[in-house]
Amino acid sequence: MLVTEDVTDARELFQVYLEFAGFEVVTAANGEEALERAREVQPDAIVMDLSMPVMDGFTAAEHLKLDARTRDIPLIALSGHVMPPQTDKARDAGCDTILPKPCALIDVAAKIRSMLPAAKIPGGK
């Protein structure tokens, strides 16, 4: 699992919760770091904020979906802007689904589980 979030407290909160939920988690603070980490660790899924410095989530999503090594990784976008045209832009960039921020951590974990094959879900559920 790769969590990409530029706000340190939020990134750490996602990491701690998802690890508690059974996921192995690596993190990135911006889209550029997310590309590097995704290529290095080949995570089962990516949770990514869309508004970040250095490289935003829209651009990172486009790069991830164009790269044969990362194109099939489920990509869950997090955004405070969940109305068109932002949602359309996110889907066009390659995001598989979009969750509104703020969001309940349990909802993020549930969305991740719903997008993974049973063999990759912690506890097989």
pTM: 0.92
**Which domains are present in the chain?**
2-124 (3.40.50.2300)
Question: What distance in Å separates the CA atoms of residue 121 and residue 125, rounded to the nearest whole number?
Answer: 6
How would you classify the pairing of strands 26-28 and 75-79?
Answer: unpaired
The residue to which tokens 């935003």 are assigned: 56
CB-based contact 93:66 (threshold 8 Å):
no
Question: Which pLDDT score, from 0 to 100, does residue 41 have?
Answer: 97
**pLDDT per 10-residue tile (average), the chain, 125 residues:** 96 96 96 97 96 93 96 94 85 94 92 88 70
Question: Which pLDDT score, from 0 to 100, does residue 86 have?
Answer: 85
Q: What is the largest CA-CA distance in the chain?
A: 37
For 17, phi and psi rounded to 5 degrees?
-65, -45
Question: Which pLDDT score, from 0 to 100, does residue 109 have?
Answer: 94
108 C-beta neighbours (distance < 10 Å), count? 19
Question: Which pLDDT score, from 0 to 100, does residue 118 have?
Answer: 81
